[in-house]
C-alpha cells in the first residue's frame, strides 16, 4: 500500500511530537540504606508523564512491579503506590542478599531508567568477653578478649574500666565466610592490681546499625591480694593513768583471719590491763612500763602483713593554779634601854598586795611588783634607822648634862672639876634604880 505524500507528512509530524514530548520525562530515584531484617521503601517519580508505564526490577534484572501489576512472586515485596507520576514498592525482612542496584524504567521512546542502590547493614552480634578466670592473684597478667561477628561494615570495639575508657588495646578485623560481613575482636592486656578488685570492665560495640544504642558486655574483676594493715590510736598524747584503744584495720581478699597483737616481739605482758577484743587492743591505767612497740599482724591464704605502733606514755601535765599573794608584814624594831627611862620601839611596815584585776590563769611571779615592794622596804628601813639615830643622840646628851650638873657656873675648868667631884660625893648618898 502506498501512502499519499500528504498522509506520510502527517505521520512523521505525529511521531516527532511524541518524541519531543518524551524528552521531558525522566524517572527520579534515591539510594536507600536499611538494617538487615528491616523494610526498604523504593520510590520512582516522574514529574511529567503522558500515561507512560513505570517498572521496578531487582539487581538480577527481574521485574518486581510493572505499574500496579506484581511480576515476581515474593511475599516480602508489596506495592505501596502506583500512578502515572509515581511507583513505590516495599521490601520487608531485608537480607544481605537483597543488597544491590535496583532499576526504575520509564517506557518512553527510548526507554529511560534511573538507578537506586540498596545498602543492607549487617547488625553485629552481642559481644562476649573471654579470657577471664576467677579469681586472679595480684600481680598476674590478664588478657581479656572481646569479640563480635556479623557486622557490615566492620564494627568498632571500645574498652572501659569503671566507665573510664582504656585506650591501649589491640584490634583485629576478619572477613566472614559470606564475604559480606566481618568478625571484629579486641584484646585488653594489663597486670592485676588490688585496686581492680570489684572493678567493672566493659566491652562496647559501636555500629551505625545500632541507632546510637551500643551493645555492651561486662565482666566484674575478682582480685585476691595479701592484707593491708593499719593501726589507729584513740589517744594522740597518752599520759599516765589514762586509757588508750588501738584498732587494727586489715583489708584483704579473702578476708583476713583475726589479727595477732604482740609487744616488743613477745606476748602482751599484762593481760588484765591489756584486753584484746577482735581487732581492738585496749590498755587501761597507762604507766611507763607500757612504753614499747606494739605489732598487729593479719594473714589470709594469699599471705600475711603487719604494722607497728610505738607507744610513749607521757608524764601527767600539771596545770599551775592561779596564786594569791598574802600581804606580808615587814617590821624593823629597835629597842634602847636608858637609865630611869622606858624603852622606845620604832616600826616600819611594808605591805605587799596582789592586783585584784590580775588574770586568774597567771602563774608566774610579778617581778615588777616584787621589785617595788623591796624598794619600799629598803626606803622605810633607812628612814627608821635615821630617826632612831636622832632619838638616841638626843637622849644621850641629856644624860651627860644631868651628870655634870653644877659645873656650868664654874669660872674655870679646875673649879668645874672640883664642883663635879663634890657632886659625886653627894651622889654617893643618893641611890639610883634602873627600872
Q: Give the three-state DSSP class for 160.
A: strand
CB 306 within 8 A of CB 298: yes
Half-sphere exposure of 95 (CA within 13 A, CB side): 4
Q: What's the CA gap between 57 and 71, in Å, rounded?
A: 9
CA angle 290–292–296, rounded 5-degree value: 105
List, for residues 247-267, the tens digit of each pLDDT value: 999 999 999 988 999 999 999
Tell me what pLDDT residue 51 has.
85
pTM score, two decimals? 0.60
Q: What's the CA gap between 219 and 127, in Å, rounded?
A: 12
- Inform me whether the pLDDT recorded for 362 exceeds 80: no
Torsion of CA 61, 66, 71, 74, to 10 degrees: 80
Average pLDDT over residues 212-237: 94
Lowest mean pLDDT among 90-99, 218-227, 281-290, 344-353: 344-353
Average pLDDT over residues 179-196: 95
Tell me what pLDDT residue 416 has.
53
Tell me what pLDDT residue 369 has.
83
Closest CA to 224 of 133, 307, 130: 133
Torsion of CA 130, 133, 135, 136, to 10 degrees: -80
Average pLDDT over residues 85-107: 96
Closest CA to 169 of 145, 188, 143, 141: 188
Q: b/e for 130-143, b at 16 or more Cβ within 10 A?
A: eeeeebbebeeebe
Q: What's the CA gap between 82 and 89, in Å, rounded?
A: 9
List, for residues 395-428, the tens digit of each pLDDT value: 655 444 444 555 556 566 566 555 555 544 444 4
Tell me what pLDDT residue 408 has.
56
Cis before 265? omega within 30: no
Average pLDDT over residues 359-363: 39
Cell triple for 151? 557486622
Burial grade of 91 (CB within 10 A; 0-12, 13-18, 19 or more): buried
Q: How many angstroms separate the Cα of 34 from the Cα of each of 37, 56, 96, 99, 296?
A: 8, 18, 10, 9, 67
Q: Which H/E stretch holds residue 27?
A: strand 27-28
List, for residues 4-17, the tens digit of each pLDDT value: 444 433 433 333 33
CB 56 within 8 A of CB 42: yes
**pLDDT tier for residue 335 given thresholds of 50, 70 and 90:** very low
**pLDDT tier for residue 106 given thresholds of 50, 70 and 90:** very high
Average pLDDT over residues 365-376: 82
| pLDDT, the chain, mean | 81
Tell me what pLDDT residue 317 has.
75
Tell me what pLDDT residue 426 has.
46
Q: How many angstroms separate the Cα of 203 from the Cα of each of 136, 168, 341?
A: 19, 13, 125
Tell me what pLDDT residue 169 has.
94
Tell me what pLDDT residue 8 has.
35
Tell me what pLDDT residue 435 has.
44
Cis before 44? omega within 30: no
Closest CA to 240 of 338, 312, 144, 331: 312
- Inform me whether the pLDDT recorded for 360 exceeds 70: no
Instruction: Give the residue with greater pLDDT, 393 vs 54.
Output: 54
Tell me what pLDDT residue 16 has.
37
Tell me what pLDDT residue 410 has.
58
Tell me what pLDDT residue 323 has.
45
Q: Which long-range contacts (CB under 8 A, 24 or more apart) does 162-169 make?
A: 162/199, 162/200, 166/190
Q: What's the CA gap between 297 and 283, in Å, rounded?
A: 18
**pLDDT tier for residue 48 given thresholds of 50, 70 and 90:** confident
**pLDDT tier for residue 284 given thresholds of 50, 70 and 90:** very high
Cell triple for 94? 531485608
**pLDDT tier for residue 349 given thresholds of 50, 70 and 90:** very low
Lowest mean pLDDT among 46-60, 93-107, 337-351: 337-351
List, for residues 67-78, the tens digit of each pLDDT value: 999 999 999 999
Closest CA to 222 of 136, 335, 336, 337: 136
Amino acid at each position: 500500500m502506498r501512502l499519499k505524500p500528504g498522509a506520510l507528512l502527517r505521520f512523521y509530524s505525529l511521531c516527532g511530537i511524541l518524541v519531543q514530548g518524551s524528552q521531558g520525562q525522566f524517572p527520579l530515584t534515591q539510594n536507600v540504606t536499611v538494617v538487615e531484617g528491616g523494610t526498604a521503601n523504593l520510590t520512582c517519580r516522574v514529574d511529567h508523564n503522558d500515561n507512560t508505564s513505570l517498572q521496578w526490577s531487582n539487581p538480577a534484572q527481574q521485574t518486581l512491579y510493572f505499574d500496579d501489576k506484581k511480576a515476581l512472586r515474593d511475599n516480602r515485596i508489596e506495592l505501596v503506590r502506583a500512578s502515572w507520576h509515581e511507583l513505590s514498592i516495599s521490601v520487608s525482612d531485608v537480607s544481605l542478599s537483597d543488597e544491590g542496584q535496583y532499576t526504575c524504567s520509564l517506557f518512553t521512546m527510548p526507554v529511560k531508567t534511573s538507578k537506586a542502590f540498596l545498602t543492607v547493614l549487617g547488625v553485629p552480634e552481642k559481644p562476649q568477653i573471654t579470657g577471664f578466670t576467677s579469681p586472679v592473684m595480684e600481680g598476674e597478667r590478664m588478657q581479656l578478649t572481646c569479640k563480635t561477628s556479623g557486622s557490615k561494615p566492620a564494627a568498632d570495639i571500645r574498652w572501659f574500666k569503671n566507665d573510664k575508657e582504656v585506650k591501649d588495646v589491640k584490634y583485629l578485623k576478619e572477613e566472614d565466610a559470606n564475604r559480606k560481613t566481618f568478625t571484629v575482636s579486641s584484646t585488653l592486656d594489663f597486670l592485676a592490681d588490688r585496686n581492680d578488685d570489684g572493678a567493672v570492665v566493659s566491652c562496647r560495640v559501636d555500629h551505625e546499625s545500632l541507632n546510637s544504642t551500643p551493645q555492651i558486655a561486662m565482666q566484674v574483676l575478682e582480685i585476691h591480694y595479701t592484707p593491708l594493715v593499719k593501726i589507729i590510736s584513740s589517744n594522740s598524747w597518752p599520759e599516765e593513768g589514762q586509757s588508750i584503744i588501738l584498732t587494727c584495720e586489715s583489708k584483704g581478699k579473702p578476708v583476713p583471719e583475726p589479727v595477732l597483737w604482740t609487744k616488743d616481739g613477745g606476748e602482751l605482758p599484762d593481760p588484765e590491763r591489756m584486753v584484746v577484743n577482735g581487732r581492738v587492743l585496749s590498755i587501761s591505767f597507762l604507766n611507763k612500763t607500757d612504753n614499747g612497740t606494739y605489732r598487729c599482724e593479719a594473714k589470709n591464704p594469699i599471705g600475711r602483713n603487719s604494722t607497728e605502733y610505738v607507744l610513749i606514755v607521757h608524764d601527767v601535765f600539771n596545770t599551775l593554779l592561779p596564786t594569791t599573794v598574802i600581804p606580808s608584814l615587814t617590821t624593823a624594831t629597835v629597842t634602847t634601854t636608858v637609865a630611869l627611862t622606858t624603852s622606845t620601839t620604832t616600826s616600819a611596815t611594808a605591805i605587799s598586795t596582789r592586783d585584784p584585776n590580775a588574770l586568774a590563769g597567771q602563774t608566774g611571779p610579778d617581778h615588777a611588783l616584787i621589785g617595788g615592794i623591796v624598794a619600799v622596804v629598803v626606803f622605810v628601813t633607812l628612814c627608821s634607822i635615821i630617826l632612831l639615830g636622832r632619838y638616841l643622840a638626843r637622849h644621850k646628851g641629856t644624860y651627860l648634862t644631868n651628870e655634870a650638873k653644877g659645873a656650868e657656873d664654874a669660872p674655870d675648868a679646875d673649879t668645874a672639876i672640883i664642883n663635879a667631884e663634890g657632886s659625886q660625893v653627894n651622889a654617893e648618898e643618893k641611890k639610883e634604880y634602873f627600872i
